[in-house]
Structure 1
Amino acid sequence: MATNLIKQTDFDAIIIGGGACGLMCAVQAGFLGKRTLILERNDKVGAKILISGGGRCNYTNLYSSTQQFISANVHFAKSAFAQWTVDDTVSFFETYGIEGQEKTLGQLFPTSNNARDVVKVFTNLCYELGQEIQCDTTVKNIKQIDSGFHISYEKNGKEHTIEAPKVVIASGGLPIPKIGATDFGLSIARKFDLKIIDTAPALVPLTITGKDQPWYEQLSGNSIFCRVWNDRISFDENILFTHWGLSGPAILQISSYWKPGEFIYIDLLPNQDIVELIQQEKEVNGKKMLLAYLAGLYTRKFAEALSDKLPVEKNLASLTKADIENISSLIHEFKVKPAGDKGYDKAEVMRGGVSTDELSSKTLEVKKVPGLYYGGECVDVTGWLGGYNFQWAWASGFVIAQSI
């Protein structure tokens, strides 16, 4: 049957976006005997799933709770996470052949290390449950009508329309436009006069420019376990020096809590005291050069890079009190003022989005537009790095499916 001849009664809901939230919503709706149609802009569903975790897909985090999420209302996601738990995610994927393996900090990956297996679970289930997926489809507009919603979209250069009683916006956020990310969800929110929390790239590398850039550039490729913090939060993970600034898990994490113009601080030797370590070494070998000592703690390249900041040409015995204070300050409180971030091209997620004030926390239905639902990344619920955002996507998809 031609797409433009599909009648309103054919589907209980139209889901816009075939990512994690949209796919879970379609499958869970199918379990309840409801029919849905996914309209996906890309030529295949699950584009972001496929590239996540370097193609391995970190599909949840065993320690996920609302504490790892940023939102203007930190309590909003509690209802969704109570309805669909981490255990539910683990059980769901195990049921369909995906066993999880924990890497670091609760991150769960498929034992196959293949994100395609995650997408296959959903495409297979959609087929079995009679849920339809239409790719290469660009939704142009959504209008509210007496019987629900009128949707206009383009496929193969032709305009089509379809009507349905309910619509789910699961079209994601702004990051990674090269895989089809757009502002569709936000533009529809504006059309319906919904409040939007200011958006920004999150889980994104930070840039250093000006006179400091060459110093970072020379260290490109060096990775160091650190504690990174600001006045709001701290993270203990690796940082990665790059030719344009800083990346690595700890930097991506802190970026979600960073605003332009602010400093971040880095403890280059967390859980140890450099002053005590130097004192102990001095008692054994006071003639050891500071450069050689630092090269034992870090890479030689990093130790040499500190030569313009520390008296690395001195031996440990000759270090003055001022030298020691300078070393301690630099190692334990390395101060950085990023120039900016790498933007949506390199960001893993978007911070901000449709305000949770506009949505029912129980169903994710828009309060003033009955039958319209928002889930996943375009909602103002942003998780940490490490599978948290997938957990929100699965949970929001499940919750919406119960109500459509």
Structure 2
Amino acid sequence: MAAKITKQTQFDAIIIGAGACGLMCAVQAGYLGKRTLVIEHNDKPGAKILISGGGRCNYTNMYASAAQFISQNEHFAKSAFAQWTVEDTISFFETYGIEGAEKTLGQLFPANGKAKDVVQIFTDLCEQLDQELWCNTRVTDVSKNDDESFTLTYERHGKTASITTDKVVIATGGLPISKMGANDFGLRTARKFGMKIVETFPALVPLTITGKQQSWYEQLSGSSIFCRVWNDQISFEENILFTHWGLSGPAILQISSYWKQGESIYIDLLPNQSILDLIATEQRNNGKQLLQTLLSGLFTRKFAEALGEYLPISKNLATLSKADLESVNALIHEFKVTPAGSKGYDKAEVMRGGVSTDELSSKTLEAKKVPGLFMGGECVDVTGWLGGYNFQWAWASGFVIAQNL
């Protein structure tokens, strides 16, 4: 006969994962007089928060809306963002001493603080609000009991034990970055309960170039250029960075979320000017000028020389043929790149795909098939752009779940 499980009622809910979503959920639950237990397998909370933005934490974006998120249901995040707005995020952090400073494109960083200060706010509040936090604890299984409660099996201090609760929050993040303990726990739990998973991919990730083209990118390693990068879905205007293995930089990270293996992307190396107009002007003023000289003035000498592999840079502007001009225009404004792949989950900032939004209530983030089970943050099929968007989703989803525990 199976041993009887004694229900432990000291917690209104158990939150698995002490990242942005889980910590916000615990704090917001505390404001409502609910007591939660947050279980984290790392030795401290907020591991991914601590490394975000180079340790500065780009904690939201002033322009965040559902439009900057990839999901099979483009409307799903609207309810959460209506319940917890960007203004709410800004106000929350200001209340606890963090003023926002805009860097670029609406990205907000702590004006006089760092990522550790963001985490400190949550750990202090959890203590003040009597929310319990267990680190170095790994949940290995979540099961549903006949009375609709849940039993969580976990490993702590070298021992295996279990605890029961009426509500469970899965806030375990996605598959990036394994060295920080990232795993597929959220996805496995969803599958166990018969929930659909949208195929996952690394997102906001550098792209690799292999084969005969790789040496060309290697010679430009470290070069950064403001560009427009696009495919048939979307375009971004930000810097790209050449590396010894391919391409990185904000514009590349952004487009990577919309890229699939085998597809090409295009780069306008001079997005706000026309190379043909510039050549025509210089032909009138100084037709003897070399194409390389003109390109060196627009880019770096190193980059201009590298373009010599594709363009007649040693020709005078006056002697460029129609075919030459067509080649220059195509290469500068429609530089085609077919990446071999990406740098994978260990270099990705987020995961694309995840638990299907069809499985969750957009208003509460509760699983439709499993009453009492909630999912938020990165494990859900809601993936934001680079620049604080994913944090806004994490805060918003944590808030929404807390209201419904």
Which TM-score band applies after superposition, normalised by the shorter structure?
over 0.9
SS at match of 1:10: coil
Residues 140-163 of structure 1 deviation map (CA, whole Å, 9 limit, x = unaligned): 101101151000100121111111
Give, in whole Å, the separation in 1 of the partners of 2:388 and 2:53: 9
Do 1:57 and 1:113's aligned partners in 2 also have CA atoms closer than 8 Å? no
Q: How does 1:290-369 map to 2 (within 5 A)?
A: 290-369=291-370
Listed as ranges, the gaps of 5+ residues in structure 2 are none
Do 2:265 and 2:336's aligned partners in 1 also have CA atoms closer than 8 Å? yes
Do 1:61 and 1:386's aligned partners in 2 also have CA atoms closer than 8 Å? yes
Give, in whole Å, the separation in 1 of the partners of 2:386 and 2:120: 24
Counterpart position of 2:105: 105
Letter of the 1:256 counterpart = S
Q: How does 1:173-212 map to 2 (within 5 A)?
A: 173-212=174-213
Counterpart position of 1:95: 95
1:82 aligns with 2:90: no
Q: How does 1:3-402 map to 2 (within 5 A)?
A: 8-145=8-145, 146-402=147-403
Do 1:16 and 1:168's aligned partners in 2 also have CA atoms closer than 8 Å? yes
Residues 300-328 of structure 1 deviation map (CA, whole Å, 9 limit, x = unaligned): 11000001100001011111111111100
Do 1:18 and 1:40's aligned partners in 2 also have CA atoms closer than 8 Å? yes
Residues 308-362 of structure 1 deviation map (CA, whole Å, 9 limit, x = unaligned): 1000010111111111111000000000000000000000000000000000000
Give, in whole Å, the separation in 1 of the partners of 2:7 and 2:119: 28
Aligned residue pairs: how many?
400
Residues 119-148 of structure 1 deviation map (CA, whole Å, 9 limit, x = unaligned): 011000000000000000110101101151
Give 1:112 shift. Answer: 2.1
Give, in whole Å, the separation in 1 of the partners of 2:247 and 2:192: 38
SS at match of 1:87: helix
Q: 1:225 to 1:6 in 2, by over 3 A?
A: farther
Give 1:6 shift. Answer: 9.7
Do 1:202 and 1:351's aligned partners in 2 also have CA atoms closer than 8 Å? yes
Letter of the 2:204 counterpart = L
Give, in whole Å, the separation in 2 of the partners of 1:334 and 1:157: 55
Letter of the 1:109 counterpart = F
Give the alignment's TM-score, normalised by structure 2. Answer: 0.98
Give, in whole Å, the separation in 1 of the partners of 2:6 and 2:305: 68
Give, in whole Å, the separation in 2 of the partners of 1:362 and 1:173: 22
Give, in whole Å, the separation in 2 of the partners of 1:113 and 1:371: 37
Give, in whole Å, the separation in 2 of the partners of 1:276 and 1:113: 46
Of residues 157-166 and 22-31 in structure 1, the stretch that sits farther from structure 2 once superposed is: 157-166
Give, in whole Å, the separation in 2 of the partners of 1:400 and 1:337: 41
Give, in whole Å, the separation in 2 of the partners of 1:251 and 1:382: 16
Give 1:275 shift. Answer: 0.1
Letter of the 2:354 counterpart = G
Give, in whole Å, the separation in 1 of the partners of 2:235 and 2:316: 33
Residues 372-392 of structure 1 deviation map (CA, whole Å, 9 limit, x = unaligned): 000000000000000000000
Give, in whole Å, the separation in 2 of the partners of 1:70 and 1:374: 17
SS at match of 2:9: helix
Do 2:98 and 2:113's aligned partners in 1 also have CA atoms closer than 8 Å? no
Give 1:113 shift. Answer: 4.3
Residues 141-193 of structure 1 deviation map (CA, whole Å, 9 limit, x = unaligned): 01101151000100121111111110000000001111110100000011101
Do 1:220 and 1:241's aligned partners in 2 also have CA atoms closer than 8 Å? yes
Letter of the 2:327 counterpart = N
Give 1:7 shift. Answer: 5.7
Letter of the 2:17 counterpart = G
SS at match of 1:231: coil
SS at match of 1:11: coil
Give, in whole Å, the separation in 1 of the partners of 2:46 and 2:279: 52
Residues 183-231 of structure 1 deviation map (CA, whole Å, 9 limit, x = unaligned): 0000001110100000000000000000000000100000000000000
Do 1:147 and 1:164's aligned partners in 2 also have CA atoms closer than 8 Å? no
